[in-house]
Chains A and B, each alone.
Chain A
Amino acid sequence: MINLKIDNKVVSVPKGTNIFKAAKDNGIYIPGLCYHPKLTQYGGCRLCMVEVTERGRSRHRFSCAQPVAEGMVVKTKTPETEKYTKSVMEYLLAHHPLDCPTCDKSGECGLQEVTHDLKLKPGRFKSARLDEPMRRDNPLLEYNSNRCILCSRCVKVCKEIAGVAAIDYQNRGFKTVIGTAFDKPLDCSFCGGCVSVCPTGSWQDRTLKFKARPWELKKTPTICTYCAVGCSLVINTKDKEVMRVTADENINLGINESNLCVKGKFGHEFINSDKRIKTPLIKKGGKLRPASWEDALEHISNRFREIIEKSGGNAIGGIGSEKCTNEDNYLFQKLCRTVLGTNNVDNISNMKSPSLNRLINNSVAYGMASTSLEGIENADTVFFVGADISEAHPVVGSMVRKAIRVNKTKVIIANVRNVEFGCETKNLLRLNYKLGTQTTLINAMMKVIVDEKLVNLKKAADKTENFNELLSSLRSSELGIKKVSKATNIPEDSINAAATSIAKAGNCYVICGKDIEEDPSGEETIEALMNLCALVNKGDSDKVSIVFSRENNNSQGVNDMGVVPEFLPGYLDINDPENREVVEGAWGAKLSSDPLEQKSGDIFDRAVKKKIKALYVMGENPIVNYPNGKKVKDAFKKAEFIVVQDSFLTETAQLADVVLPSSTFVEKGGTFTNMVMTVQRLHKAIPQVGDSKPDWQIICALAEKMGHEYHYTTSKDIVDEIGKGVPIYEGIEVNRLRRKGFHWILSLYYKTKAERYQFEITSKKTSAIKSNKKYPFILLTGSSLRHQGTYSRYSESLVSLASECFVEINRKDAKKAKITDGDNVKIESAQGNIKLNVKTTSRVPEGVAFISEDYEWVPVNNLRGDGYTNVKISKTK
C-alpha cells in the first residue's frame, strides 16, 4: 500500500493506482471525462489536472496518468488547476451543440456534470457548431459526432472489453470523428458498452429514444435471464414498464464489472410485449380460450386426479425450467414428487446431456470445479474446449480479455469450428480439431505432458489413484504425436505448445463448452479432460479450475433443485432409503414408491410409449428446444392432458389443454444459480403483468386445489426451506444475498476435503460419426450471440437486429455445390427438412453445416435425431 495526501486527507491505496482513482475511491472529486476504471488510461480530455508535490517540488500533473507514490501531496483545487480546467472545458464546449433539452443523456451526462460542478459561464470563444448528420445505421445504437468530445472511451470499450474494435478514430485534427472503416454500417457485437461509458450524448440507446428521462427511471438491480454467466443488471423502469437495462456504473455489483452483452442490454422488450399471455387459457373445442384462475386450476386438478386414479402418479411427467428460479423449480419437483406422486421430473439440459450432472459433481468432489468466474482474470492459461464463448457467454469473453490485459494470459481454443474470439494473435492458440477426434487430442496432450515430464510425475502419482493405468493407456500407439496431428488436423507444434502452456500455468482455467457436453461422445471427452486437469493440478496455490458451461440462466439451479429423475434436491440419490426417509420427514409427505425405471429413456420416450399420459411443462418450449423434434412432437401428440406454464404462447403452449400465465424474472423475487454455482438474488422491479403469477405461486395454488397446504407467503420462505433441506445449499440466507452471491461449491470446499482423484480410463469407443453418401454434411448446432429462446424472440430490437437464422457452410463446399452467399437452400436429413439462407464462411470446416439453435422460430430439431445428424443441402428453386 502507498500512503499519500490528497487535499489534506491521508489515503492509502494499492501500488500502481493512479491519483484520479485514489481520489475517487476516497470520496474526493476531480473532474474528468476520459478515464474509466475498467479501461486502460488515455489522458485525452485534459480535465483532471492536479498539483503534485513530491520531494519539495510542485508540478502539475494529469491525475489519471500519474501513479501514486509514497509521500506524495496532491492538491486537487488550486487557482491554477481551476483556471486550467475551466479553459479546457471552454474548448470542449466551444463546438458542443448544447442541445441538452432534446438529448437523452441529459441528467446523467458527464460533460453536463462537469459544467455544473465548475459553475461555468459562457465561454470567450466564438463557437463553431458542427452540424453533421446523426449516424443511424442499425436498430440499436446511434452516434452523433457533434456531441462527441473524443475521449476514446467507446473505442477502448469496443476493443478491450468487447474485443471487436468495430470503431476507431477516423481522420485527424478538427475533422476527427469516431467511425467504422469505409463508413460501413456498424457491425459489432452490440454489447452497448459504448453507450454505457460515453460521458456525453454521442452514443445513444435507440430503444430508449424519447421514452423517458434518466431522472424519471427507477432502478432495480437484478440478475440476467439469458445465459448462465449470471450478470447483474439494473432494470430501469417508469410507470411499471421496463424502459431500459443498464449495468451498475460503479462496477461493484455482481460479477460482470458492468459489462453486458446484446441480449442482457437490449433484450428486455419481451417483458412488456403485448404478446404476453395475460390470463389462464383452457382449450375448448380445439381452441385456447381465456378463463379464470379458479376454473383453470380446478380443471387441472380434476384431470390430474383422474389420471392418477386410473394409471397412477407415474403417468404424469413434469418438465422443469432452466429459466425459472430455484424456488420455482424446487416447488415444482416437490409438487410432482409428493402431490402428483411421480418421479418423472426432468429438465431439458439433463435430457440433452444425461451424464453431465454426474461429471460436474465429480469435479466438485475432486476439488477441481471452479468457484468463481471472476477468478479467470488471475489465470495464466485459459483453455476453451468446445466452447463458443463469444456467442454463448460473451461476458466471460470480456473477463478473459481482462485477464490478457492484466496478466498476459495465454488463451487456447480447441473447437471444431474456428470460433470467433477477439484478442491479439500473440495471446491466442487455436486447436481446430477434426470432428470426432477431440478425445484423442486431449489424450495426446496428456501424453506430451508425461513424455516431456512437464509436471512432477511422482507427485502426481502420489496424489491420485489409477495413475499407472493412465500411463499405460497413454502408451498406445494411437497417441503418437505424428499420428494425432494427422488425425486431428492440428500441427504438432500447436499440440506441444498447448500442452506446455497448460502444464506450466500456475493458474489454469479449463472451460468445457456445450459442443463437448452435448456431443454423443461427450462423456468420454469430459473424462479425458478431467484426467488432464488432475494430471497438471499441483494443488495448493497452483491450481486448475474447470468450468462446465451451462446454457441458460438457471440450468445449474434446476438440476441442483432436484428436477431430475434420479436425484432429490441437492443430488441425493432417490433410491437410497435413508435419503427418502429424511426428505419425506421434512416435507411431511410420501414420495412416489414406484421404482425408477432405469435405462428406459427420458420422459418423452415414455410418453411416446404411452407410459406417461399427462405432461406438465413449466417455462420451457420442448417442441423446439428438445433436440429430437420428431420424438417430442410424437410425445405431445400422444399425451392425453398437457399443462403449460409460460409467459408466451410458445409452440408447446399451443398444444396444451391448459396454459397458465407466468411472470417473467423482473416481476418476481428468487434466486438463480449460475454455471459456477454462484447463487444470486433477483429483485422485483415491476408488478405482475396482466393476471400472470410467479411460477411458485401457481404451484402453491395448484397444490392447495389438490388438497395439500403449501405455507409460503414469499419466495424467501422457500429459500429458507432450501437452506434447511438441501445439503449443498445449507447456510444460504436471503438477506445476505443482497450484495453478494452464495457460492455453494466454496462453502462445500470449506466443509469437506477433496477426494483423491481417480483416473478414469475409457477405452475408445467406435466413432459415432457415420459418413453417408446421400447426406454428405454433418449438422452441428450451437449458441447465438443475439438470440436465446422465447425471450429474445419477443424482444423486437433483437429480432430487428438479427432477423434471420443462417446455415453456415464452408466456402469450398459452397463452391462445389455451386451455392453462393445468401442463396436459399433446403437442408434435409432422414428426419425432416428446413429451408434457410446460406452464409458461406471459413469458420466452419468442410463437410459440416452449422445452424444456430437459438432462433426459436427456426425448428432445427426437425432435422435432428439421436446422435450426429447427417444432412444434405440443395438449392431451392
Chain B
Amino acid sequence: MGKRKKQAAKEEVIDLSKAEEILDNYEGVQGALIPVLQKIQYEYGYLQEETINLVAERMNISASEIIGVATFYSQFRLEPRGVHIVKVCCGTACHVKGATKITKEFANKLNVAVGSTTEDNMFTLEEVACLGACSLAPIITLDGNVHGNMAPDGVGNIIQETGKHGSSK
C-alpha cells in the first residue's frame, strides 16, 4: 500500500513554474547556484530530479555538479521531508539524561528510522548535535517548538497531539 502511494506521488507532474520564476530572477548572475537551490528547496520542500535538471539546463551547470553541491551541504535534501519535523537533541547533557531512549521511542512509535520520513509523509525524525538548552535536557523540538524535560512516556502524547492538528504546518 505504502509503496503504491509513493509511486503515485512520483508520477505526479511537478509544477515547475515557481522554479522557473526563481531562475528568472537569477538570470545571468554569477555564483548563484546555492541561493537558487535554497529558494527552490524552500518552495518545494526538497530538491527533486526535475527541478535539478531544470536548474542544470537554465544555468548551464551539469546536473552532476549540482548534485555534488547539494550532497556536500547538509542543508539540501534530495528526499522529501515530512509535514512535521522532530529534532531530538543528542548533545552531551541530553545524552546523559537519556536522549537515546527518546529517539528510540519516536522511532518505534512512528515506525521510522532516524533521518528519514514516515510513509504517510507526516513526520521526519532527525537527530541534532545540541540545541543549546541543556537545562531542559532531554529536549526535542517539533516544528521549531521546544519540548523540554522529555520522558519516553510523553512521546506518544506529543505525536497524537500533533496528529490531531492535521496536516497544516
Chain A residues whose C-beta falls within 8 Å of the C-beta of B66 in the assembled complex: 181
A424 to B56, CA, bound (A): 12
CA distance A168 to B33 in the complex (A): 15
Cα distance, A182 to B72, chains bound together (Å): 14
- Tell me the smallest distance from the CB of A163 to a CB of chain B, in Å: 10
Residues from chain B with a CB closer than 8 A to the CB of A172 are: 71-72
Residues of A close to B144: CB separation below 8 A: none
CB contacts under 8 Å to B, within A147-199, are 159, 164-172, 179-182
B42-84 residues at the A interface, CB under 8 angstroms? 49, 52, 56, 59-68, 71-72
Q: Contacts A424-B60, A425-B60, A426-B30 hold; do A168 and B65 have CB atoms under 8 A apart?
A: yes
Q: Which residues of B contact A171 (CB under 8 A)?
A: 71-72
Q: For the complex, give the distance between the alpha carbons of A279 and B72 in Å.
A: 60
Residue with the greatest number of chain A CB neighbours at <10 A, chosen from B52, B59, B67: B67
Taking a contact as CB atoms closer than 8 A, the residue among B28, B30, B63 that contacts A182 in the complex is B63
Given the interface pairs A181-B52, A426-B30, the reply to whether A168 lies near B60 with Cβ below 8 Å is no
A contact residues around B56 at 8 Å (CB): 181
- Determine the interface band of chain A, counting residues with CB < 8 A from chain B: 10 to 19
Q: Could you list some 11 contacts between A and B, CB below 8 A? A: A159-B62, A159-B65, A165-B65, A166-B62, A168-B62, A168-B64, A168-B68, A170-B64, A171-B71, A181-B52, A182-B49
**In the assembly, what is the distance between CA of A507 and CA of B116, in Å?**
57
Neighbouring A residues of B63 by C-beta, 8 Å: 180-182
Contacts of B49 in A (CB 8 A): 182
Chain B residues within an 8 Å CB radius of A424: 60
Q: B68 contacts which of A164, A170, A182 (Cβ < 8 Å)?
A: A170
Q: Least Cβ distance of B72 to chain A in Å?
A: 5
A167 / chain B contacts, CB cutoff of 8 Å: 64
Quick one: which of A168, A169, A179, A424 has the most chain B CB within 10 A? A168
A259 to B162, CA, bound (A): 60
Report A's interface with B, CB cutoff 8 A. Answer: 159, 164-172, 179-182, 424-426
Task: Enumerate chain A residues within 8 angstroms of B59, measured Cβ to Cβ.
Answer: 425
CA A425 – CA B31 in complex, angstroms?
12
Q: How far is the CA of A425 from the CA of B59 in the complex (A)?
A: 8
Q: How far is the CB of A501 from chain B (nearest CB, A)?
A: 17
The reply to whether B68 and A169 contact each other, CB–CB distance below 8 Å, is: yes
CA A178 to CA B72, docked complex, whole Å? 12
Apart from A171-B72, A181-B52: 8 A-B pairs, beta carbons within 8 A? A159-B62, A159-B65, A165-B62, A165-B65, A166-B64, A169-B68, A180-B64, A425-B28
- The listed residue (A164, A169, A179, A182) touching B62 by CB distance below 8 A is A164
Say whether B67 contacts A182, CB under 8 Å. Answer: yes
Q: In the docked arrangement, what's the CA distance between A172 and B52, Å?
A: 19
* Chain B neighbourhood of A182, CB < 8 A: 49, 63, 67
User: Chain A: which residue is nearest B73 at the CB level?
Assistant: A172
Shortest CB-to-CB span from A423 to chain B, Å, is 8
Given A172-B72, A426-B30: A181 touches B60 (CB 8 Å cut-off): no
Expressed in whole angstroms, the minimum distance between the Cβ of A822 and any Cβ of chain B is 19
Give Cα A179–Cα B59 distance, bound, in whole angstroms: 20
The contact of B67 among A159, A181, A425, by CB within 8 Å, is A181
Report the interface size class on chain B: 10 to 19
Q: How far is the CB of B168 from chain A (nearest CB, A)?
A: 32
From A159, A169, A425, give the contact of B72 (CB < 8 A): A169
Q: Which residue of A lies closest to B72 (CB)?
A: A172
Is there an interface contact between B60 and A165, defined as CB atoms closer than 8 Å?
Answer: no
Selected contact of B71 from candidates A164, A170, A180, A426, CB within 8 Å: A170
Residues on A with beta carbons closer than 8 Å to the beta carbon of B30? 426
A-B pairs with lowest CB-CB distance, top 7: A168-B68, A181-B63, A165-B62, A181-B67, A168-B64, A425-B60, A181-B64
Q: Which of A167, A170, A172, A181 has the most CB of B within 10 A?
A: A181
CB distance from B24 to the nearest CB of A (A): 15
**Shortest Cβ distance from B5 into chain A, in angstroms?**
21
Specify which of B49, B52, B62 lies most central, judged by the most chain A CB atoms within 10 Å of its CB.
B62
**Is B64 in contact with A165, judged by CB distance below 8 angstroms?**
yes
Which of B28, B66, B71: most chain A CB closer than 10 A? B71
A424→B59 CA distance, assembly (Å) = 9
Across the interface, which residues of A come within 8 angstroms of B64, CB to CB? 165-168, 170, 179-181
A203 to chain B, nearest CB (A): 15
Q: Provide the bound-state CA to CA distance between A102 and B28, in Å.
A: 49
Among residues of A, the one whose C-beta sits closest to the C-beta of B66 is: A181
> Quick one: closest B residue to A171, CB to CB?
B71
Residue numbers in B under 8 Å from A166 (CB-CB): 62, 64
In the complex, the answer to whether B67 meets A170 with C-beta atoms within 8 Å is yes
* B46 CB to nearest A CB, Å: 13
CA distance A170 to B67 in the complex (A): 7
B80 → chain A closest CB, angstroms? 15
Shortest distance between the CB of B33 and any CB in chain A (Å): 12
Q: Output the nearest chain B residue to A424 by Cβ-Cβ distance.
A: B60
Closest to B74 in A: A172
Contacts of A164 in B (CB 8 A): 62
Residues of chain A within 8 A (CB-CB) of B71 are: 170-172
Give Cα A181–Cα B71 distance, bound, in whole angstroms.
Answer: 10
Residues 136-169 of chain B, each 1 if its beta carbon lies under 8 Å from chain A, else 0 = 0000000000000000000000000000000000
- CA–CA, A427 and B56, complex, Å: 17
CA–CA, A165 and B65, complex, Å: 7
A164 to B56, CA, bound (A): 12
CA distance A522 to B30 in the complex (A): 39
Instruction: Kindly state the separation between the CA atoms of A171 and B68 in the bound complex, as whole angstroms.
Output: 7
In the assembled complex, the Cα of A180 lies from the Cα of B53 at a distance in Å of: 13
A182 to B63, CA, bound (A): 9
CA distance A425 to B57 in the complex (A): 11
The distance in angstroms between the C-alpha atoms of A172 and B64, with both chains bound, is 14
State the CA gap A425–B61 with chains docked (Å).
9
Task: Please report the C-alpha to C-alpha distance between residue A530 and residue B72 in the assembled complex, in whole angstroms.
Answer: 50
Report Cα–Cα, A797/B5, bound state, in Å. 41
Cβ-closest chain A residue relative to B30: A426
> CA separation between A171 and B64, bound complex, in Å?
11
Q: Nearest chain A CB to B67's CB is how many angstroms away?
A: 4
Within the assembled complex, what's the spacing in Å between the Cα atoms of A567 and B19?
61
Residues of B near A181 (CB, < 8 A) are 52, 56, 62-64, 66-67
Q: How far is the CA of A181 from the CA of B52 in the complex (A)?
A: 9
Cβ distance B48 to chain A, nearest Cβ, rounded Å: 10
Q: Closest Cβ of chain A: how far from B147's Cβ, in Å?
A: 31
Bound CA–CA A171/B49 (angstroms): 16
A residues within 8 A CB of B52? Answer: 181
Complex: chain A residue closest to B49, CB-CB: A182
Q: How far is the CA of A181 from the CA of B30 in the complex (A)?
A: 22
- The CA of A626 and the CA of B61, in the complex, are separated in Å by 39
Complex Cα spacing A347 to B53, Å: 45
In Å, the complex CA distance between A180 and B64 comes to 5
How many angstroms from the CA of A350 to the CA of B72 in the assembled complex? 54
Residues of chain B within 8 A (CB-CB) of A170 are 64, 67-68, 71
What is the CB-to-nearest-CB distance from B55 to chain A, in angstroms, rounded to a whole number?
11
Nearest chain A CB to B71's CB is how many angstroms away? 5
CA A168 to CA B67, docked complex, whole Å: 8
- Report the Cα distance A169→B64, complex, angstroms: 8
- Nearest to B69 among chain A residues (CB) is A168
Question: Nearest chain A CB to B50's CB is how many angstroms away?
Answer: 11
- Nearest CB of A to B143, in Å: 28
Chain A proximity of B51: nearest CB distance (Å): 12
